[in-house]
Amino acid sequence: MIQSKEFSRSWKSVQRTLERGSGSAYDEACRALLDLSEAYTAHANKKLFQEELTKFMVAHVRRKALVQRLAKAGLWDDK
């Protein structure tokens, strides 16, 4: 499990994964964000994760395939 001291590194890792821009990269990023969500729940709080995810998604909200994966996983509201 991801430790709280690794949160920043984990967000950067997801960013690098998304730069590949492929479907498999989106799947990998979604899994990583699920892990990160669980880590925030265990070590910080879910609200903080949602705030960080909202900031992170500013640069990625137009990636419809990613948004769909995150919505399906229950991490993002695609409305």
User: Quick one: average pLDDT of 50-77?
Assistant: 96
CA 56 to chain centre: 8
Residue 20: inside a domain = yes
Q: 2 falls in which pLDDT band (50, 70, 90)? A: confident
Query: How many structural domains does the chain have?
Result: 1
Establish if 64 belongs to a structural domain: yes
Q: What is the pLDDT of residue 78?
A: 78
pLDDT of 61 over the 80 cut = yes
pLDDT (tens digit per residue) in 17-46: 999 999 999 999 999 999 999 999 998 899
Range of the domain at 19: 4-72
34 within some domain: yes
**Residue 77 domain-assigned?**
no
Q: Let me know if residue 78 belongs to a domain.
A: no
Angstrom distance (rounded) from CA 15 to CA 46 = 20
Question: Does residue 56 fall inside a structural domain?
Answer: yes
